[in-house]
Amino acid sequence: MPLLGCLADDYTGATDLASMLVRNGMRTVQVLGAPGAHDPAPQADAVVVALKSRTAPKEQAIRESLDSLEWLRGIGCRQFFFKYCSTFDSTDAGNIGPVAEALGRALDAGVIPVCPAFPANGRTVYQGHLFVGDRLLNESGMQNHPLTPMRDADLVRLLGRQVLGRVALLPYAVVEQGALAVATALAENQHQGNRFVVLDALNDAHLRAIGAAVRNLSLVTGGSGVAMGLPRNFQEQGLLLEYANPGALPDVPGGAVILSGSCSTATLTQIEAARSLLPVLELDPLATPEAGALADQALAWAEGRLSERPIVIAASAPPQRVAAVQEALGVAQAGALVETALAEIAARLVAKGMRRLVVAGGETSGAVVARLGARTLRIGQEIDPGVPWTYTADVAGGLQLALKSGNFGAPDFFLKAFTV
């Protein structure tokens, strides 16, 4: 029976969280999309439900999250984790705050911790301010995000605009003292009537302390970093077995392809690094604003290259190019065009024998797995922090997938993906 039930607001974020749990000893299955009320419990210690609620209308995001929570409760989960991006991707209206608030009400939770920090990927929180590397969030490039531009690094202030409950800060000076100090401070905040508490975290020791401190809370929220401390709580209670390799996956023979719809700086750098060694096709939705035609172009280009090295097919572009496409086609239409085209390309390439796919970008990943009909992923070993290989048996012959958040991965990520 699963112990930890998780909700993630996009597909790559769900994989990131699931990878963290595997790394810390929990066999983990990712469910793609809201499960049906009567879907059986996966054979795993942790279950991560991957939703596309980050940019959905607020009411839809809340409804899907609550329905998924009800299913997780029904299969016996003992604690619940709401995962969002380590760059807190949202708008002043949500959806992070409204979803967390709704989950808290449903669980009759007390104080709700908030910590998107993931130091391994350069995301830290200090005095309530979110940093990406040595830059404040709103100076990191995230202020140019096409869907959720982040223009305020103060998480207490930002979350306060999203929720009805009071938001407080648990600063570095307390977190540095360890788990007992954090647990005591959280209890004091609950007594004072604070609904949400943003926690500073600068390193993994802080995250593990936070994880230990929240062992008795019904709801925890944050980036995947906070989850590194949760498995140990179940181990100490004798509920979690030790496994030699909780991330073992079946081998899948077949070709390899990289599909990218992300326009993040990290992904653009990864494409450039791959260009010298791998064939790269750059799609131009402005010149060909029709998904089927873009897919036809990609498949024609891929012919004759499928038996060689991995190939790269990208609809990624720098901010000025993205702005031009959005101005010409509309923001929603431009995004839907790219997602539909790459999903169709993925389906056609899988039909031609591609069996290992790397997909960059949260929205793109959601579109691809939906088009392929994948419903569950078993989580394997990491390529880079937060990006593991996964396996699905829902596609005939089996398929390995790596779903990469746009901001994640080292510059050589695409080159080393197929050596892991």
Could you tell me if 95 and 64 are in contact, meaning their C-beta atoms sit under 8 angstroms apart?
A: no
The CA distances from residue 83 to 17, 113, 129, 277, 283, in Å, are 7, 12, 18, 35, 32
Beta-strand pair 123-126/129-132: antiparallel
Map tokens 């086609």 to a residue.
329
Helical H segments across 314-361, by residue range: 319-329, 331-351
19: DSSP letter: H
Taking only the tens of pLDDT, the chain with its 420 residues reads 899 999 999 888 898 899 999 999 999 999 999 999 899 999 999 999 999 899 899 999 999 999 999 999 999 999 999 999 999 999 889 999 999 999 999 999 999 999 999 998 899 999 999 999 999 999 998 998 888 999 999 999 999 999 999 999 999 999 999 999 999 999 999 999 999 999 999 999 999 999 999 999 999 999 999 999 999 999 999 999 888 788 889 989 889 999 999 999 999 999 999 998 999 999 999 999 999 999 999 999 999 898 778 999 999 999 889 989 999 999 889 999 999 999 999 999 999 999 999 999 988 998 999 999 999 999 998 999 889 999 999 999 999 999 998 988 999 999 999 885
SS3 408: coil
Could you tell me if 2 and 394 are in contact, meaning their C-beta atoms sit under 8 angstroms apart?
A: no
Could you tell me if 82 and 115 are in contact, meaning their C-beta atoms sit under 8 angstroms apart?
A: no
Map tokens 């929240």 to a residue.
214
Could you tell me if 160 and 168 are in contact, meaning their C-beta atoms sit under 8 angstroms apart?
A: no
Q: Give 351: exposed, middle or buried? Use CB within 10 Å, 0-12, 13-18, 19+.
A: exposed
What domains are there in the chain, each with its CATH number? 4-236 (3.40.50.10840), 255-419 (3.40.980.20)
The CA distances from residue 13 to 63, 94, 156, 208, in Å, are 19, 17, 22, 20
- 88 C-beta neighbours (distance < 10 Å), count: 23
* Spatial distance between the Cα atoms of 225 and 206, rounded to a whole number of angstroms: 10
Q: Which residues contact 249 (CB under 8 A, 6 or more apart)?
A: 378, 380, 381, 389, 390, 391, 400
Continuous segment of H or E residues that includes residue 258 = strand 255-260
